[in-house]
C-alpha cells in the first residue's frame, strides 16, 4: 500500500475552556518517520491519544490505516503499535512473557507469536535477556522491549510518545538506530518529541507544534533553508538599539533578541552583509563584543517560527488529565 497512513483534518480538542489542539490537519505517508516537535503542553500527546483511540475525538476527522478513528476504533487498534510516554511493562514478567502477553491480547496464533517474539528479540538485541524479569533490565533495554512489544502485531504504524525522554545521549542515539532499522523494515513511525536533535536526525518530515497549532511542516533541510544559508549572532553594548537599527536594513530579514545576543536572519550572502551591519552599528556608537556566524539549526528554526525557545519544563499549561506515576529507574 502506498499513500497516507494517517490523515487528519481540522482536528480540535479542548479540556474545559482550554483548547489543547486547535484545528490541526496533516498527513503521514506510508513508510516515513514523522515527528511532532514542540514543548510539553503543546498538544502532542493529545493528538497521539486521539489517533490511538485512547481519547475520544471531539471535533474534526482522523483516519489511521484507512479506518475512521471515531467510528472504527477496533480496526484502528488492530493496525497500530504504541509506545507510551511512561514505561509500562510488567516488571514481574520476563522479557518474552511481556511480548507473549501482548500477542495473546491481540489474539495472535501461538505459532505466529513464537516466531514474532524470536524476530523482535533479535531486532532489539534482547535475545540474551529473553528470560530476564523486566524489572532487572536497564532503562534503555526496557524501552527497547516496549519497542518490540509495539511491533509484535506487525502494525501499519508505530506511535511513540516521547520515546527517549529522560535518557542520556548515548542511549538516545542507540534508540534512533533501532527506530531507523524499524523504518527500513517498512513500518511507518509517528513520534512526538521535544528534543530538537531527535526530530532533526530521525525524521523524514517534522511538524512544529505550539499552543495546539501546527506552525510549519517540512523536512529538516527545507525548514532550515527557509532561514537562509547563514545566521549571524551579535553581542553588543546595547542590544535594544542595535536591533532597531538592524531592522531598518534591507538586507536583514528579521532580528530576534535573546537574553544576551541578537539573532539575525539575512537574505543575502553573509560575506557582504556582515561588514555592512557592523559598520552601521559602530556608526551609532554601539560596541560589538562578539560576532558569530553559523548554519541554521533546528533550534533556530523553532525560534524563528514560534518566536520563543523550546525549553524543558515549559509545561505550566499542560492539561495532563489523570496521569498516574510512571515507573522510573
Partner 1 sequence: MNFEFRAIYWREMLKFFRFKSVLFSSLIQPVMWLAFFGLAMSDSFDKLTSLVPNEAGVPVVDYLSYMGAGIIAMDVLFSSLFGGTTLMFDKKFSLLRETLASPVPRFHIILGIGLSGVTKAFIQTFIIIGFGKLIGMDFFEGFTLAQTITAILGIMLLVAVFTLGFLFLSGSIAITIENPEGMQSILTLLSMPLFFISNALYPIESFPDILKLLSMFNPLTLLADGIRYFALGTNFSVMGNHYVYTTADIAFSFMGLIFFALTMLSAAMWRFNKVDI
Residues near partner 1, by CB under 8 A: 52-55, 74, 77-78, 82, 84, 86-93, 97, 101-102, 104-107, 149, 321-322, 324-327
Residue number, 86 or 169, with CB nearest to partner 1: 86
Query: How far apart are CB 240 and partner 1 at their closest, in Å?
Result: 48
Closer by beta carbon to partner 1, 101 or else 176: 101
| Integer Cα distance of 82 and 84 in angstroms | 6
40 HSE (CA, 13 A, CB side): 13
Is the Cβ of residue 104 or residue 311 nearer to partner 1 in the bound state? 104
Nearer to partner 1, 104 or 295 (CB): 104
Residue identified by cell 487528519 is 8
Name the burial class of residue 249, with classes exposed (0-12), middle (13-18) and buried (19+) by CB atoms within 10 angstroms of its CB. middle
Shortest separation between residue 248's beta carbon and partner 1, angstroms = 54
CB of 258 to partner 1, least distance (A): 38
Q: Which residues contact 182 (CB under 8 A, 6 or more apart)?
A: 123, 147, 151, 158, 189
Closest to partner 1 by CB, 63 vs 205, is 63
Residue 105 beta carbon to partner 1: minimum distance, rounded to whole angstroms? 4
Q: What is 226-256 written as a DSSP string?
A: TT-S-EEEEEES-HHHHHHHHHT-TTEEEEE
Minimum Å distance from CB 219 to partner 1?
A: 30
- Minimum CB separation of residue 86 from partner 1 in Å reads 5
CB 92 to partner 1: min, Å? 6
Q: Which is nearer to partner 1, 153 or 236 (CB)?
A: 153
* DSSP label of 69: T
In this structure, are residues 8 and 43 in contact, taking their beta carbons and an 8 Å threshold? no
Beta partners for residue 36, in sequence order: 192, 207
User: Cβ contacts of residue 293 below 8 Å, gap of 6+?
Assistant: 230, 231, 232, 233, 270, 274
Residues 6+ apart with CB under 8 A from 184: none
Taking each helix axis from N to C end, the angle separating 110-123 and 95-105, rounded to the nearest 10 degrees, works out to 130
Nearer Cβ to partner 1 (138/320): 320
Amino acid at each position: 500500500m502506498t499513500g497516507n497512513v494517517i490523515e487528519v483534518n481540522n482536528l480540535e480538542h479542548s479540556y474545559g475552556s482550554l483548547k489543547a489542539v486547535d484545528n490541526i490537519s496533516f498527513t503521514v505517508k506510508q513508510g516515513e518517520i514523522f515527528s511532532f516537535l514542540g514543548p510539553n503542553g503543546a498538544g502532542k500527546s493529545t493528538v497521539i491519544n486521539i489517533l490511538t483511540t485512547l481519547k475520544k475525538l471531539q471535533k474534526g476527522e482522523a483516519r489511521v490505516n484507512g479506518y475512521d478513528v471515531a467510528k472504527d476504533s477496533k480496526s484502528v487498534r488492530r493496525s497500530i503499535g504504541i509506545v507510551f510516554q511512561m514505561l509500562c511493562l510488567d516488571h514481574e514478567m520476563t522479557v518474552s512473557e511481556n511480548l507473549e502477553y501482548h500477542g495473546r491480547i491481540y489474539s495472535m496464533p501461538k505459532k505466529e507469536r513464537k516466531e514474532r517474539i524470536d524476530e523482535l528479540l533479535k531486532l532489539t538485541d534482547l535475545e540474551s535477556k529473553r528470560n530476564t524479569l523486566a524489572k532487572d533490565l536497564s532503562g534503555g533495554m526496557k524501552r527497547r522491549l516496549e519497542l518490540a512489544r509495539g511491533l509484535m502485531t506487525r502494525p501499519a504504524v508505530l506511535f511513540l510518545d516521547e520515546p527517549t525522554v529522560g535518557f542520556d545521549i548515548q542511549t538516545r542515539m542507540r534508540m534512533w538506530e533501532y527506530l531507523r532499522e524499524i523504518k527500513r523494515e517498512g513500518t511507518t513511525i509517528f513520534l512526538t518529541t521535544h528534543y530538537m536533535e531527535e526530530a532533526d536526525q530521525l525524521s523524514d518530515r517534522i511538524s512544529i507544534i505550539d499552543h495546539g497549532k501546527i506552525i510549519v511542516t517540512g523536512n529538516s533541510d527545507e525548514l532550515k533553508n527557509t532561514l537562509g544559508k547563514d545566521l549571524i549572532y551579535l553581542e553588543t553594548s546595547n542590544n535594544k538599539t542595535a536591533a532597531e537599527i538592524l531592522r531598518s536594513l534591507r538586507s536583514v530579514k528579521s532580528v530576534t533578541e535573546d537574553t544576551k545576543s541578537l539573532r539575525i536572519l539575512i537574505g543575502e550572502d553573509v560575506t557582504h552583509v556582515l561588514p555592512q551591519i557592523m559598520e552601521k552599528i559602530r556608526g551609532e556608537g554601539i560596541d560589538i563584543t562578539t560576532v558569530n556566524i553559523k548554519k541554521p539549526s533546528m533550534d533556530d528554526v523553532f525560534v524563528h517560527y514560534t518566536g520563543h525557545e523550546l525549553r524543558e519544563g515549559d509545561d505550566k499549561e499542560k492539561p495532563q488529565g489523570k496521569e498516574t506515576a510512571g515507573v522510573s529507574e
